[in-house]
């Protein structure tokens, strides 16, 4: 699935809203943007950890689907994230790459940056792929 197909699919399966938009996907990497909203802020004026975790999860979900096709029931089995610095209010960019794609599991890592700035977080996400 390419970026346009992924965005259409995500809008269909998450009709009440989603965290981000896929800008690029090729089965090996994705680039996903989380558009800034004041609702994402936590005390102290920084973007919340749950917002970054959702972005990382969405980026790897898109990555997995870009590699294996439309498999809605692929699900997160693990997400580990390290927060490096506080992101300032603004868009976040997640760049994900596939580390392993097997029959039952896919593992990707994600670098999250504030748009135009330094890395703010790194995540490793594992997805379970249901049997066909």
Instruction: Report, at the CATH architecture level, how domain 3-128 is classified.
Output: Roll (3.10)
Residue-range domain boundaries for the chain: 3-128
Least confident range of 20-24, 35-39, 51-55, 126-130 = 35-39
Whether 125 has a pLDDT exceeding 80, the answer reads: yes
Whether 110 has a pLDDT exceeding 90, the answer reads: yes
Query: Phi and psi of 125, rounded to 5°?
Result: -130, 135
DSSP secondary structure string for all residues of 56-105: HHHHHHHHHHHHH---TT-EEEEEEEEE-SPPPSS-EEEEEEEEEE-SSE
Give the pTM.
Answer: 0.95
Tens of pLDDT, residues 5-32: 999 999 999 888 777 999 999 999 999 9
Output the pLDDT for position 59: 97
End-to-end CA separation in angstroms for the chain? 17
Q: What span, in angstroms and rounded, lies between the C-alpha atoms of 21 and 59?
A: 9
């Amino acid at each position: 699935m390419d970026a346009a197909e992924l965005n259409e699919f995500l809008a269909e399966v998450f009709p009440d809203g989603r965290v981000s938009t896929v800008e690029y996907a090729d089965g090996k990497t994705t680039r996903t943007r989380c558009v800034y909203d004041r609702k994402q802020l936590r005390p102290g004026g920084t973007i919340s950890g749950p917002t970054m975790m959702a972005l990382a999860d969405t980026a790897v979900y898109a990555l997995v689907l870009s590699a294996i096709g439309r498999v809605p029931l692929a699900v997160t089995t693990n997400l580990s994230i390290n927060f490096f610095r506080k992101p300032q209010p603004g868009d976040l960019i997640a760049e994900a790459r596939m580390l392993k794609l097997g029959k039952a599991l896919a593992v990707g890592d994600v670098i999250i940056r504030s748009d135009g700035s330094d890395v703010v977080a790194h995540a490793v996400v594992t997805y379970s792929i249901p049997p066909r």
